[in-house]
Structure 1
Amino acid sequence: MSSLALWNRGSSASLFDRIRGEDTAISPTQETDRLVSSVKRQLERVLNTRCGSCRSAPELGVVDLNDSTQSRADAGGRIREAIRHCIREYEPRIVGVEVFAVDNTTAVPGMAFRVNASVHLDTIEQVASFDIHMDSNRHYRMM
Structure 2
Amino acid sequence: MRKEHSLLDRLDNEVLPASYTTKFDWNAFLDSVTLNIQNMLNVRVGSVKALHQFGMPDFNDVVNQFPDAVLYIRNAIQHFIEEYEPRLESVSVYYVPDPDQPLHMKYAIEGTLRYQEQVSRVAFDTVLTGSGQATVRI
Superposition TM-score, scaled by structure 2 size = 0.81
Measured in 1, the distance between the counterparts of 2:109 and 2:45 equals 20
Over 3 Å counting, the alpha-carbon distance change for 1:76 and 1:90 in structure 2 is same
Identity of aligned residues (%): 26
**Moved segments of 4+, more than 4 Å:** none
Q: Is the 8 A contact 1:47 1:83 kept in 2?
A: yes
Shift of 1:117: 0.2
Superposition TM-score, scaled by structure 1 size = 0.78
Over 3 Å counting, the alpha-carbon distance change for 1:99 and 1:68 in structure 2 is closer
Aligned counterpart, 1:124: 118
Measured in 2, the distance between the counterparts of 1:82 and 1:53 equals 16
- For structure 2, list consecutive stretches of 5 or more residues without a partner in the other structure: none
Aligned counterpart, 1:108: 103
Count of aligned positions: 131
Matches within 5 A, 1:78-117: 78-104=72-98, 105-106=100-101, 108-109=103-104, 111-117=105-111
- For structure 1, list consecutive stretches of 5 or more residues without a partner in the other structure: 1-7
Aligned counterpart, 1:13: 5
RMSD: 2.3
Shift of 1:69: 9.4
Which of 20, 23, 33 matches 1:23?
20
